[in-house]
Amino acid sequence: MTVSELLTHGRLHHVGIVVADLDSAIANYQARGFGEADRFDIPEQGVRAAFFALARGSVELIQPTDPEGAIGRFMAKRGEGFHHVAYQVDDLATSLDELAAAGIELIDVAPRIGGHGLWIAFVHPRACNGVLTELVQEPD
């Protein structure tokens, strides 16, 4: 899926929320009716995370494990709360190329592996009205 197709079809993959205590946050969400959380660690990003699958999309809870990592710095500056929105694309490399060609500021110029083995890349918040935007491609 190209970026222009993304904008017209709008496939939301997940929203990311930074939390101070993942276990407590999971319990809080489950007390409000969310199902089982799929937990995992991403040591190279300095986080523990959990996904709650919804009918469409997911909610990702992210706890920093490294105070010097990106999520740790976010938590120190802003506290808990909304972190990013992620959209699913079919061809992440092509989507990044299209964005770069359009002059859109990227954080990642090439796909990289994220949680769940997903291919991910981030668009700078300055390019999206202050919202950190993640593009996600499901693995083959």
Phi, psi dihedrals of residue 119, rounded to the nearest 5°: -85, 130
Say yes or no to pLDDT of 4 above 60. Answer: no
Say yes or no to pLDDT of 3 above 70. Answer: no
pLDDT at site 6: 56
pLDDT at site 30: 97
**Which residues make Cβ contacts (< 8 Å) with residue 120, sequence separation at least 6?**
86, 92, 108, 111, 112, 113, 114, 134, 135, 136, 137
pLDDT at site 115: 84
The token pair that represents 83 in the structure block: 């972190």
pLDDT at site 1: 45
- How many helices, marked H, and strands, marked E, lie in the chain? 4, 8
Name the fold adopted by 3-137: 2,3-Dihydroxybiphenyl 1,2-Dioxygenase; domain 1 (3.10.180)
Note whether 6 and 89 are within 8 A (CB). yes
Distance of alpha carbon 125 from alpha carbon 39, whole angstroms: 27
Q: For residue 103, count other CB atoms closer than 10 A to its CB.
A: 7
Distance of alpha carbon 82 from alpha carbon 62, whole angstroms: 10
pLDDT digits (tens, 9 = 90+) for 64-109: 999 999 999 999 999 999 999 999 998 999 999 999 999 999 999 9
Give one word for 125, left, alpha or beta, with left for phi > 0 and alpha for psi -120 to 50: alpha
- Spacing of C-alpha 38 from chain mean position: 15
pLDDT at site 56: 87
pLDDT digits (tens, 9 = 90+) for 24-67: 999 999 999 999 999 999 999 999 999 999 988 999 999 999 99
Distances in whole angstroms, Cα of residue 69 to Cα of each of 19, 42, 83, 122: 14, 11, 14, 16
